[in-house]
Amino acid sequence: MIITVLPQNKELRGLVEVPSDKSVSQRALIFSLLVNNSFSVQNLSTSKDCLSTLEVVKQLGVNVKGHGNTFLLKNEVVGSSKPLFCGNSATAMRLLCGVLSGKNFSSVLTGDESLSSRPMKRVVEPLTLMGAKIEGNVPMYIYPSVLHGIEYHSKISSGQVKSAVLLAGVSAEGTTIYTEPHKSRNHTELMLKYFGADISVHGNTVRLNKSDLVAKDINVAGDFSSAAFLIAAALIVPNSDITIKNVGLNPTRIGFLNVLKDAGASIEVLNEKTFNLEPVGDIRVRYSEFKGFNLSGDIIPNIIDELPLIAVLGCFAKGKTTVVDAKELRVKESDRISGIVSKLKSIGAKISELEDGFVVEKSSLNGGVTLDCGFDHRIALSLFVAGLGCKNAIKIKDFECSDISFPNFVETITKVMS
């Protein structure tokens, strides 16, 4: 599908909601494989990634009742003799690898072409140290094994790798200790605590003892990574003033929000509350001038999904924007450094590529071209935002890939277009 994005000449205004958090939704589904009691999930994400995960847990034997975005899950897992298709979701594959390593049946995890090119050694290595028997990359063959806790110091900060080890640690004998260089998203730790796990966190180290989990009902807030695109749009379209309702505000996810505030953007959080240990609130964003960004080190893991959007915002910021220490972007659904730099250059951005990031200066975006997003949902959505600030319309090929994380994006943003 090719979509045309017109320059937005009128302000964005009103109240809007974003899809439910993809990370929390996928974890809720995967946790159904680790508990014996039934529990409900309200506002489950309907993104393609979550639908893939839902089909996998059903295939493994989880009894799923419900419709729309509310489900009751009950563990009746017996395994599956057929491959478990994770679609485009690295989160599903990596977390399932941790859970299934401790089961008494064999499993095969597979995925689409994009997922098949993603690195899995980073997950297999610590799980193997725990006693897991795993072969292959994608497809990945997992055999029954008895797991034991380990002390593991990761060289990278990855919420997915950390989660795989911790989920394996739930059934592993002894204690599992995981340390990462910078704190990555912690939805798994919070859900483990919410379900009664014997878990503690000190700085960048998580300690987990073998635990019997007791599930509780889950209410999923709006996905901050999806809200980020609306936040960015409101910041670059003059006179805009929007409020995004019930967004997840986990501190390990809102680096983007904090970076924007520090740069002078007009953003405030309202009506703060908590859903199953996860902070939630409304985000009000008003058009405003903001400075360029200088991002590196600890902040990168907490803003990794929004970095293509930072490149776009750098075109509208006062001064220069520099992002480094973000080499992880090169092994996402696509090489997101090369992808966003080349696409923004083609519409007039003053941007250059670094080995581990990019440099961008305030630019006048011309547009007037057709862009290939490389079937990467975050690149597609970032280019849509850029298109709102171009002088001429742009076209984006394969925009349907945005459904991977933000179903009905166009309908959502249209609600606040004057």
**What pLDDT, in 10s, does the model give residues 5-56?**
999 999 999 999 999 999 999 999 999 999 999 999 999 999 999 999 999 9
| pLDDT digits 0-9 by tens, 121-137 | 999 999 999 999 999 98
Q: What is the pLDDT of residues 171-207, one digit of tens each?
A: 999 999 999 999 999 999 999 999 999 999 999 999 9
Q: Enumerate the β-bridge partners of residue 280.
A: 248, 273
Backbone angles phi, psi at 70, to 5 degrees: -125, 125
Residue 163 pLDDT greater than 90, yes or no: yes
Average pLDDT of the segment spanning 357-361: 98
Q: Catalytic annotation on 335?
A: no
Report residue 257: phi and psi, to 5°: -65, -45
Would you state the structure tokens that stand for residue 82, as one six-digit string? 């057929």
pLDDT band, residue 341 (cuts 50/70/90): very high
Q: What pLDDT sits at residue 256?
A: 97
For the chain, state the CA radius of gyration.
21
Average pLDDT over residues 239-268: 97
Contacts of 187 (CB under 8 A, 6+ apart): 23, 24, 27, 159, 163, 250, 252, 278
Percent of the chain predicted with pLDDT > 70: 100
pLDDT of residue 69: 85
Q: What is the pLDDT of residue 280?
A: 99
Residue 375 has pLDDT above 80, yes or no: yes
pLDDT computed for residue 128 by the predictor: 98
Q: What is the structure's pLDDT at 333?
A: 87
> In the predicted model, is pLDDT for residue 68 greater than 90?
no
Domain annotation for the chain: domains and CATH numbers? 3-20+221-414 (3.65.10.10), 22-219 (3.65.10.10)
pLDDT above 90: residue 119: no
Question: Which one of 49, 305, 398, 403 is the catalytic residue?
Answer: 305
Q: What are the tens digits of pLDDT across the range 79-104?
A: 999 999 999 999 999 999 999 999 99
DSSP alpha helix (H) spans, 35-88:
48-60
Tens of pLDDT, residue by residue over 230-245, are 999 999 999 999 999 9
This prediction has a pTM of 0.93
pLDDT mean across residues, the chain: 96
pLDDT at 61: 95
Distance CA 314, CA 156 (A): 26
For residue 341, the SS3 value is: helix
